[in-house]
């Protein structure tokens, strides 16, 4: 993986171990992510992919090793600083989208901006622009129960990117979609992320999805290993 497009590192893990009680979930993980890089992680169920994401996002502190964002060790930050980072510099997409049912599509999308303190008008305008870009402009006023599965996944993508985060953590972001929809949503997701230089850590079961990433790692029994570039 010598021919990195962009050598400026945004996120790194060195020697990360994570346990749940006595159960080891991540073992000695090393990872370096450049600004704007798309990193895919594949591996069997239970291999530790989500656990690694939680460590990288500062949600679970590792038992050993270090995670750095922009050179700063997450383990040395206080709770407020970590929450601030998660709110303002990170974005998240989960398997089932997880939109808030009582908010409209537009309000759901604007949430990260509102949480970061932006006023309602500008936040909704920015959300509307991202929704438009993902072909969802017409759905703005609807509630999550009034849109399809594929559409709610697209809204989750819009919400994860609306505040132009430095890194998006995506755990099976298209896991609940059929393959045609999954491919379309993923293309939009990666296109938007690349256009704003957002790095993406993408956990997926799908090798075809992983093949679209800049780099590809696999996980087995808690051990993360780089995979040679797909032919
Ligand atoms: N909260 C928890 N308490 C105890 N063990 C856990 C907990 N969460 C996960 N584990 C265990 O840690 C290991 C790694 O789980 P993890 O969720 O990271 O796997 P995964 O690769 O994301 O799997 P999947 O593809 O099914 O989402 C598994 O053996 C799992 O049973
Ligand atoms: Mg998982």
- DSSP conformation letters of 10-25: EEEEEEEEEEETTEEE
Confidence at residue 229, expressed as pLDDT on a 0 to 100 scale: 53
Residue 20, beta-bridge partner list: 23
What the block records as the tokens of 158 is: 């819009």
- The parts of the chain modelled with pLDDT lower than 70 are 1-7, 97, 228-231
Pocket residue to mutate for ligand 1, from 51, 173, 206, most atoms within 8 A of Cβ: 51
Show the ligand 1 pocket: residues with CB < 6 angstroms.
20, 23, 25, 43, 45-51
> Could you identify the atom of ligand 1 that is nearest to the CA of residue 23?
5
Residue 203, beta-bridge partner list: 41, 171
Yes or no: say if 31 and 224 are a contact pair by the CB < 8 Å rule.
yes
What the block records as the tokens of 25 is: 């979930």
Angle at 171 between CA 18 and CA 58, to 5 degrees: 45
Greatest alpha-carbon span in the chain: 50
**Sequence-ordered list of residues with C-beta below 8 angstroms from that of 74, at least 6 positions apart, any chain:** 58, 61, 66, 67, 68, 82, 85
Confidence at residue 174, expressed as pLDDT on a 0 to 100 scale: 87
Confidence at residue 185, expressed as pLDDT on a 0 to 100 scale: 87
- Measured in Å, residue 24 CA sits from the centre of ligand 1 at 10
> Could you identify the atom of ligand 1 that is nearest to the CA of residue 50?
22
Confidence at residue 7, expressed as pLDDT on a 0 to 100 scale: 62
- Measured in Å, residue 60 CA sits from the centre of ligand 1 at 13
């Amino acid at each position: 993986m010598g021919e990195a497009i962009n050598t400026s590192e945004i996120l790194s893990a060195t020697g990360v171990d994570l346990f749940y009680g006595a159960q080891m979930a991540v073992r000695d993980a090393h990872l370096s992510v450049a600004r704007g890089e798309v990193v895919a992680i594949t591996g069997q169920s239970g291999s530790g992919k989500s656990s690694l994401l939680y460590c990288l996002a500062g949600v679970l502190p590792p038992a050993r090793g270090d995670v750095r964002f922009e050179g700063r060790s997450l383990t040395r930050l206080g709770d407020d600083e970590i929450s601030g980072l998660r709110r303002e510099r990170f974005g998240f997409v989960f398997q089932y989208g997880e939109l808030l049912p009582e908010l409209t599509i537009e309000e759901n999308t604007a949430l990260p901006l509102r949480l970061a303190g932006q006023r309602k008008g500008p936040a909704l305008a920015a959300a509307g622009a991202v929704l438009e870009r993902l072909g969802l402009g017409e759905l703005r006023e609807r509630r999550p129960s009034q849109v399809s599965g594929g559409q709610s996944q697209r809204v989750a993508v819009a919400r994860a990117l609306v505040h132009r985060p430095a890194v998006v953590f995506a755990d099976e972001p298209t896991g609940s979609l059929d393959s045609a929809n999954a491919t379309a949503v993923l293309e939009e997701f990666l296109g938007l992320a690349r256009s704003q230089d957002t790095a993406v850590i993408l956990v997926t079961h799908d090798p075809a999805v992983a093949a679209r990433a800049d780099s590809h790692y696999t996980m087995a029994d808690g051990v993360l290993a780089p995979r040679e570039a797909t032919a």
